[in-house]
């Protein structure tokens, strides 16, 4: 495998949309952008997934983002 797959949820769950402020967004996308900004855009895929799960859980979204692919790819920075 030569790529990573990022999914908003497990196969038995829904990826939710919600209203944040005045706009609707995908919940995972909204929190991914927040996590990236909080980390000053210096975050690995694994770190991003850990933070996303925390943020979604804190906001009471019943979805668990998934990251599939080689471990070496998961350790890479999201923007490198």
Domain ranges for the chain, please list them. 5-11+19-74
- Mean pLDDT for 4-14 is 95
Nearest Cα residue to 26 out of 67, 59, 2, 71: 59
- Mean pLDDT for 64-78 is 96
Q: Please give the model's pTM, rounded to 2 decimal places.
A: 0.91
Quick one: residue 7, left, alpha or beta (phi over 0 = left, psi -120 to 50 = alpha)? Answer: beta
Q: Tell me: the pLDDT tens digits for 46-62?
A: 999 999 999 999 999 99
């Amino acid at each position: 495998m030569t790529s990573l797959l990022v999914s908003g949820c497990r196969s038995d769950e829904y990826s939710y949309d919600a209203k944040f402020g005045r706009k609707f967004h995908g919940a995972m996308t909204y929190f991914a952008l927040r996590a990236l900004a909080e980390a000053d855009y210096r975050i690995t895929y694994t770190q991003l997934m850990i933070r996303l799960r925390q943020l979604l859980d804190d906001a009471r979204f019943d979805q668990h983002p998934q990251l599939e692919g080689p471990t070496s790819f998961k350790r890479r920075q999201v923007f490198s």
